[in-house]
Structure formats: structure tokens, C-alpha cells
Amino acid sequence: MNSALSMRTDPATPRDLSFWAAFGPGLLFAGAAVGVSHLVQSTRAGASFGLSMLIVVLLANVIKFPAFRFGPQYAAATGHSLIDGYRRQGRWTLVFFALLTAGTMFTVIAVVTLVTAGVGITVFGLGPLLEASVGPVAGPSVVSALIMVLAAILLAGGGYVWLDRFIKIVMPLLTICTLAAMFMALDRIDWSWGAFIPDAVILDLAGIAFCVALVGWMPAPVDISVWSSLWALARAKHQPRKPAPRDVLMDFDIGYWATMMLALAFVLLGTGMMFGQGLTFENNPAKFSAQVVDLYTTTLGGWSRPIIGTAAFLVMLSTSVTVIDAFPRVIASLVVQLRLAFAPQAAALAANVPLEGDRHVYRVSFAFLCAGALAILVWGMSSFTALVDLATTLSFLTAPLLAFFNHRAIHAPEVPRDQQPGSAMTTFSWASITLQTAFALYFLWFKFGPSGA
């Protein structure tokens, strides 16, 4: 009796404290990853190709795992972000990552906020109000701007701490709603072996292009590994003790495999509700969202609408907030690292400015990125699905090189030997890089070679 009582009243062990000190960035990764790749691309995959896409989604998640894991692992081992690791590999590595960030940041923010706006318009029935006030074309852009303002208020008020709390509420709700919706759809799926065999249409240029777009952001672009390293550092700053590297990795693993589970769930949802019905997907985000939610409601009954709608909106809201936070963090860190790389006399800068970047640069970048994303939505948005596919295809083609950068970083001299990956993970990483490179080259040959001409 006394022993049991002492077990209940003893303070948390250092092991417990270490894990809770590390817990959070993995969920932020899940929040950033579970979005367009899941709600849009995974649903389209199941709707267009059925259960055969489960294999593609599963393979994409497994192949990218080492590259993503090395982000928080590098931060935990060195106390620096992957951007610092890129600078140590040479200026050209840092410049490549900076150019990739500059080339995708506006489009990514525009895409995720636009999809979030479309879902919100559908779920909350804002369509008639927006049409009467600003018109049907400007409506999604107006709601996108409001989402950015909401994110600004959340992040400006509490920074990482509020972001951490927000995602710990959203992600469990998202998971529950998505899994509930998936279980509703299971009895509508053909589970025969033949259903898992890819249709011949997946092997033509359009099918290959769709798979590339799907894998490009499945579960996320590889550059999110940099975001994970920055979030791990931000989390450590707000804790009284430094998290143990193994607990940082456990936190990441929980978030990562949760994203894979949700991706498979959305493929099953698309398969059960839309596959084989000859549907044409809308090119407008609000209409696409309404198409998805309304189809589930029609099939399952009106009572399912709150579950489907809530799951869809939480998917995209979590993505929008985390993405809008991540890019300014990356820019703030890049400003410091580029100055260190190209201005040796600025080496003393590290003593005065955190390597993760200055808060003022973060705020200016935040405003600049939101303004640029809105400009794309207002003046450069001619095709919703084309914009998504362009961004995801670029991520697919650059993934092998970023995975190689991450591999070099985690095996660099500044990482203690006992905190570098073991031989099995190192071999796994090389195999992943090789496969991603082969897939990228095959796509380029298929698209631009004799067969694609």
C-alpha cells in the first residue's frame, strides 16, 4: 500500500521530464504536413485510382523518413538548425536552399490558405454572404486574408508557445474526426485483391504526373525537415532542461507516423466515397471542398456533415498556421547564415544574434510573405489544381538533393559520433536517396524524352 502510494506521489522522473520537454515539434510537423497533400491530393488519389494508391502513399512516406528525421536529430545533437548544417557544407548548398525557399514560399502559402479558405467557406456556409459582399471570385482571397490575420494574431501574441498549444488541441481533434469519417467509408470499398492492382491509366503521362505531384508533398516537401529543426530549437528554448536526443526523435516519430496514418485514411475516404463514380474535380478550391464534403454527406447522411467538415477544416487550418510560421523562421535564419557565409567579418554576429534569426526579421518576413501570397491569389490564380501540381512537382524533383544535404549534415564532424545514425539508418538513407533520384530522373525522361515528346 505504501509502495503504491509512493509511486503515485513521486515527482516525474528525469526521463519523463525530458520527453515532455521535447514533445511538440513532432505535432507541428504533422500539422504542417497534413494539409494539401492529404485533403486534396490523397483524396484525389483514392477517388481517381482507388486502393492502388495506398501503395504509392505508403512508399512515399517510408522513402522520405530518413531525410525528415535527420532535421530534429541534427538540432538535438548540435543545438543548431539544419540551415547551419547546410552552411557548413559550403556556400552553394546554402544558396541552393535559399533559392528553393524563395521559389516556393509564396506559392505554398497561397495554396494552403486558399484550400483552407475553400473548406471554411463550405463548412460555415459563407458562400452567399461572400457573393453578396465581394463577389464569388474575390471571396476565397478575402477569407485567405482573414486566415493570415488569424495566424498573425496567434503567432504575434505568443510565438512558439501559442503555436505549440494550438497544435496540441487541433491535431488530436483532426485525428479523431478523420478516423471516424474513414471508418464510415470502409464498408463501401471493394477489398478484393484486384482492387490493389494499378489501372493501366496510371502508367500514362497524366497518371505519372499525378503520382509525382502526390509524392512531392507526401507526407510533405523534404525542406520541412529544416522547419522541424527550427521548431526543435524553439521548443528547447522554452524548457528548463535540454531534451534528450532520443526523446526529440520519439516526438518526431509520433508526429511522422501519425501523418502517414492520416494520409492512408484520406486515400480510403476518396476510394470509398468517390472512386468509380466518374466525377470531374472542380478547379475552384471552394467548389472542390464543397464537392468533397457534400459527396460524403449525400452518401453517408446529413448527420455526417459536421464530422467531415470539421476534419477537413482542421486539416487545413493546422497546415496554414504552421506554414505561415515556418517560412518566416527559415528566412530569419537564412539571413544570419548567409551573412556568416559571405561576410567572414560578420562571424561575431553569432554572439549577438541567435542563429535561428532575429525576431524583427521574422515579423517583417511574415508580413512580406503574406502580402506576396495574397498577390498570387488576387492576380496570378488561374488554375487551382495546376498551382498545386506545380508546387508539388517542384518539391518532388528537389527532394533527392535535399535528402542528400540532410544525410551529409547528420554525418558531419560537428555531430557527435554517438548521436549520428547507426549503420542500418545510414544504409536506409542512401537507399532512399537513390530511389528518389531514380524516380525523379525517370519522370524527367518520361516527360521530356522520346516517349513524352
Amino acid at 321: V
Which of 5, 25, 93, 452 lies closest to 229, judged by CA?
25
Residue 8 has pLDDT above 50, yes or no: no
Confidence of residue 355 (pLDDT cuts 50, 70, 90): low
In the chain, the domains with their CATH numbers are: 44-448 (1.20.1740.10)
pLDDT at 12: 46
Query: What's the rounded Cα separation, in Å, for the pair 141 and 137?
Result: 8
**Rg for the chain (alpha carbons), in Å?**
22
**Highest mean pLDDT, choosing among 6-10, 97-101, 172-176, 211-215:** 97-101
Confidence of residue 5 (pLDDT cuts 50, 70, 90): very low
Query: Which residue did the predictor score with more confidence, 368 or 173?
Result: 368
**Highest mean pLDDT, choosing among 212-216, 245-249, 337-341, 449-453:** 337-341
pLDDT at 87: 92
**Highest mean pLDDT, choosing among 144-148, 165-169, 375-379:** 144-148
Start-end of H helices in 343-422: 349-352, 359-379, 384-410
DSSP assignment of 16-63, as one string?
HHHHHHH-SHHHHHHHHHSSIIIIIIIHHHHHHHTTHHHHHHHHHHHH
pLDDT at 94: 93
Amino acid at 162: W
Instruction: Read off the pLDDT of each residue in 50-61 and give the average, rounded to a whole number.
Output: 90
What is the maximum alpha-carbon separation in the chain?
Answer: 79
Query: What's the rounded Cα separation, in Å, for the pair 161 and 155?
Result: 9
Query: Which residue did the predictor score with more confidence, 262 or 157?
Result: 262
pLDDT at 425: 96
10 Å CB burial of residue 403 (0-12, 13-18, 19+) is buried
- Whether the CB-CB separation of 38 and 263 falls below 8 Å is answered with yes
Which of 47, 75, 2, 35 lies closest to 281, judged by CA?
47
- Whether the CB-CB separation of 395 and 37 falls below 8 Å is answered with no
- Whether the CB-CB separation of 430 and 67 falls below 8 Å is answered with no
Confidence of residue 49 (pLDDT cuts 50, 70, 90): confident
Residue 190 has pLDDT above 90, yes or no: no
pLDDT at 11: 43
Instruction: Read off the pLDDT of each residue in 389-415 and give the average, rounded to a whole number.
Output: 89
pLDDT per residue over 142-159, tens digit each? 888 898 888 888 777 656
**Highest mean pLDDT, choosing among 157-161, 194-198, 420-424:** 420-424
Which of 169, 108, 114, 141 lies closest to 310, judged by CA?
169
Residue 32 has pLDDT above 90, yes or no: no
In the chain, % helix, strand, coil (3-state, to 5) comes to: 80, 0, 20
The region that residue 415 occupies, defined by phi over 0 for left and psi between -120 and 50 for alpha, beta otherwise, is beta
pLDDT at 1: 39
pLDDT at 45: 86
Confidence of residue 9 (pLDDT cuts 50, 70, 90): very low
Of 90-94, 164-168, 340-344, give the lowest mean pLDDT range: 164-168
pLDDT per residue over 238-257, tens digit each? 666 677 778 888 888 888 98
- For the four alpha carbons of 232, 76, 252 and 370, in that order, the dihedral sign comes to positive
Instruction: Read off the pLDDT of each residue in 123-143 and give the average, rounded to a whole number.
Output: 78
Which of 251, 241, 282, 320 lies closest to 35, judged by CA?
320
CA trace torsion 124, 128, 134, 135 (10° rounding)? 120
CA trace torsion 230, 261, 410, 104 (10° rounding)? -50
The region that residue 279 occupies, defined by phi over 0 for left and psi between -120 and 50 for alpha, beta otherwise, is beta
What is the CA angle 142-43-101, rounded to 5? 60
Confidence of residue 422 (pLDDT cuts 50, 70, 90): very high
pLDDT at 179: 83
- Whether the CB-CB separation of 320 and 146 falls below 8 Å is answered with no
Residue 203 has pLDDT above 80, yes or no: no
Tell me the CA end-to-end span of the chain in Å, nearest whole number.
78
Of 18-27, 64-73, 93-102, 250-259, give the lowest mean pLDDT range: 18-27
- Whether the CB-CB separation of 84 and 78 falls below 8 Å is answered with yes
User: Of all residues in the chain, what percent carry a pLDDT higher than 90?
Assistant: 20
The DSSP code for 238 is T
Start-end of H helices in 79-138: 82-89, 91-123, 127-133
- Whether the CB-CB separation of 249 and 293 falls below 8 Å is answered with no
Residue 163 has pLDDT above 80, yes or no: no
